[in-house]
Amino acid sequence: MAETKREIERKYDAPTDHFRLPDLLKVPGVSAVIDKGVVELDAVYYDTEDQRLAEDRITLRRRSGGDDAGWHLKLPVVLSEGVRDEVQAPPSAGLPRALAGLVRSRVRGDELIPVVRLRSSRDVSHLTDADGSLLAEVCVDAVRAERADGERATAWTEIEVELADGADPAFLGKVEKRLRKAGVERSASVSKLARALEETGAERPTKPEASARAEAEPDTAGARVLAHLRAQRDALVELDPAVRRDLPDSVHQMRVATRRIRSAFKTYKKVLDPDVTGPVAEELKWLAGELGIDRDREVLTERITGRIDAVPRTLLLGPVRGRLRIWAVARRHGSRRHTVAVLDGRRYLALLDGLDALLAEPPLLPDAAKPAAEVLAKAARKDKARLAGRIEHALSLEPGTRRDVALHEARKAAKRARYAGEAARPVLGKQAKKFAKRMKGVQSVLGDHQDSVVAREALRQLGIQANAAGETAFTWGLLYGQEQAAAADRERELPGVWARAEKQELSAG
């Protein structure tokens, strides 16, 4: 079974091949430096032929020697330099299924092949405090690296300082200060693998998409829209392993990426041919729906739970919390198992391949060659006008089901206008940021209204189930009334929020 640990470390280049650590007892907080001896490590690193894992700063290896022999997959933690999550699995002939899933969005159907072999003679020391608790492990590694084909090799010595679990990250800075006094500098390479690939000349083949990107004019609408789409495609790929590991908010963020891409296809239909983007958009809609099965249930359950928590105990009549738990469990669809099955399916991988193909050979229309500021501003204004029409229509209807449906359609339009503003921000700056913020405000009001609509239907069903079981439905009716009042509040709030948003202009000048 795979295990995960958070790795927080810093790497340094040793000044000489026969480097010896300075006296680390002089590091504040260190009471003992314990020599743990020398360990011989032998690791083979795997990647695709075009080194997709290395490109995303991911390392996959099978290592022998030491107390953690087996398969190791290291995934960078976003916005955290020197921090990676290491997923370990026991030794086996082939890549364990759990680790294979975590790299599938990058690898797809391609083969993982050996690219580099690293053999290290590791001199290990433990730094402990006055209580004998481990603060950090310091390793001096004499490394020999060779390409898998054996044609080229290189060698170097480096120092790794890895923070112990639960230790203060600021301790690494104290160790670094001491090392710097000994002439030690931070390594320019993010990992041993990166250095080995560079020094053995294992160059990556150039991707067609990368070549097209280099040739694109940066200030054209086409280049800007494609850059936005690539960022969202990359987000999908990067979030895949986070969703598989069930990390907080990962499913929601993955759904957001699918929505941003679909929204961009619609907003920029004069930049990219909708006949080509349409089928991809439909597949993105399918993926968002599959991911949303359990996410929507969780959000709804949290909303109703919050309502119950706010009700005075004297008004909680009957087994309300128990009834909610029964209802929530009955609505589950295998949760994570279902989500992982979707991500392991051929349809999902075909979607990722389709996105890659579209971005490698984008179906550009004449507007793609026009100035980005002009096209993006015009597209955002058009989305705003579309939103204005939907809000006007919704507010012209009498309160009830038809208005609820119309307000939900307005919510979708607000989201699309917001995304258009956010996509324009690299070109139009602060005014695009303000535009997106105003549209988000409208989206929030309409979103809370729609959440109330969905919650009311759930509460009605809960009341029916309670009544059928011989329980009082009083509390469910009370909660229904609260949601009804909340929806009415949002409807009264909407005109003022929209009036402020409507004033926010967006221009190319």
pLDDT tens-digit map of 50-80: 999 999 999 999 999 988 899 999 998 876 6
Query: Under a CB-based contact definition with an 8 Å cutoff, are residues 466 and 473 in contact?
Result: yes
Rounded to whole angstroms, how far apart are CA atoms 442 and 447?
A: 8
Residue 58, φ and ψ in degrees, nearest 5: -110, 135
pLDDT band of residue 15 (cuts 50, 70, 90) is confident
Domains, the chain, in order of start with CATH, read: 3-199 (2.40.320.10), 209-502 (1.40.20.10)
Residue 144 DSSP one-character state: E
Q: 424 phi and psi, to 5 degrees?
A: -85, -10
pLDDT at 214: 39
pLDDT at 82: 77
257-302 per-position pLDDT tens digit = 999 999 999 999 999 999 999 999 999 999 999 988 777 888 899 9
What is the pLDDT at residue 462?
95
Specify whether the CB–CB gap between 118 and 45 falls below 8 A: yes
Distances, alpha carbon 475 to alpha carbons 96, 276, 305, in Å? 50, 51, 12
Distance, CA of 134 to CA of 30 (rounded, Å): 9
Measured between alpha carbons, how far is residue 303 from residues 28, 33, 165, 184, 323 in Å?
A: 49, 53, 35, 54, 15
Q: Are 196 and 51 in contact (CB under 8 A)?
A: no
Percent of the chain whose pLDDT exceeds 90: 83
H or E, element range at 294: helix 274-310
Look at the chain and count its residues.
509
Contact 197, 31 (CB under 8 A): no
Q: What is the pLDDT of residues 219-243, one digit of tens each?
A: 899 999 999 999 999 999 999 999 9
List pLDDT tens digits, range 122-151.
999 999 999 999 999 999 999 999 998 888
Q: Is the pLDDT of residue 86 over 90?
A: yes
